[in-house]
Structure 1
């Protein structure tokens, strides 16, 4: 009595069924799928893995490593970009905090000036004359500076 062939595994079973009569197109397609490279080395299919298949696996492995390297490069680039954005946001927050404190000090200065100005206008007539002279002098100084700056640009 001849020895029985090994029991086919789940991957090879469709190809073994393809050789059975009455399986039709489904059995043929299953056999073609296995013939196209879905083989693995098992006891029921000795030598099923051909040299062409090993070459194909090597080529796919090299391509897979290349794509993984490209992905790693893109991830590194995105990570550095995210860190740059974070650093920029931190710098802008510090800048805005500094501006906030500057505006608070200017607000305090203007409030004090406004109080002094209103107390000066409430006092007697001599202070009102002084206020008019100071205001006119400031306006004249402003126009002189404007004239000098406009001449300096041309």
Structure 2
């Protein structure tokens, strides 16, 4: 029985037959390939012509090419999904940026008004301290009510 394998240039070449080709670690695929020590070999009958071997090799190549094509298709769809997700996230972040800019404008105006009121006079300072104390008390009351509502 002769052993056949593809050479470096794609030609079918005979390889040494014997236990080195079909050892305990060898496995056989459905198309007739024998994989031994990481090197695929084709076990062919001596009566088979080179045309039959070429046909078997062509069928195996087509099967592998089809498998590769399906993997490429899956990778392409995955890449398109990643691209779509990235675009959605960029739109979301752009929206958040504009929201933060508007909040920054509101807070800047509030701080300016608060500073002006604090610098204006003694009566306003008493009012300002009373308002600040009232806000602190309101904060603690709300936090107490929310903690009671959770339990």
TM-score bracket for this pair, using the shorter chain length: 0.5 to 0.7
Per the TM alignment, residue 92 of structure 1 is displaced from its structure 2 partner at its CA by 1.2
TM-score by length of 2: 0.66
More helix per residue? 1
What is the aligned partner in structure 2 of residue 131 from structure 1? 128
Instruction: Provide the aligned length of Structure 1 versus Structure 2.
Output: 109
User: Which residue of 53, 59, 62 maps to 1:62?
Assistant: 59
What is the aligned partner in structure 2 of residue 77 from structure 1? 74
Per the TM alignment, residue 97 of structure 1 is displaced from its structure 2 partner at its CA by 0.7
Per the TM alignment, residue 153 of structure 1 is displaced from its structure 2 partner at its CA by 2.1
Q: Residue deviations 1:33-75, cap 9 Å, x none? A: 9984xxxxxxxxxxxxx75333222221111111111111111
What is the aligned partner in structure 2 of residue 104 from structure 1? 101
Q: Which runs of 5+ in 2 are unaligned?
A: 1-10, 15-46
Runs of 4+ in 1 over 2 A off after TM superposition: 33-36, 50-55
Q: How does 1:1-154 map to 2 (within 5 A)?
A: 36=14, 51-154=48-151
Q: Highest CA radius of gyration, 1 or 2?
A: 1
More strand per residue? 2
SS at match of 2:148: helix
Q: Which runs of 5+ in 1 are unaligned?
A: 1-32, 37-49
CA RMSD of aligned residues (A): 2.0
Q: Residue deviations 1:4-38, cap 9 Å, x none? A: xxxxxxxxxxxxxxxxxxxxxxxxxxxxx9984xx
TM-score by length of 1: 0.64
Distance between the aligned counterparts of 1:67 and 1:81, measured in 2?
21
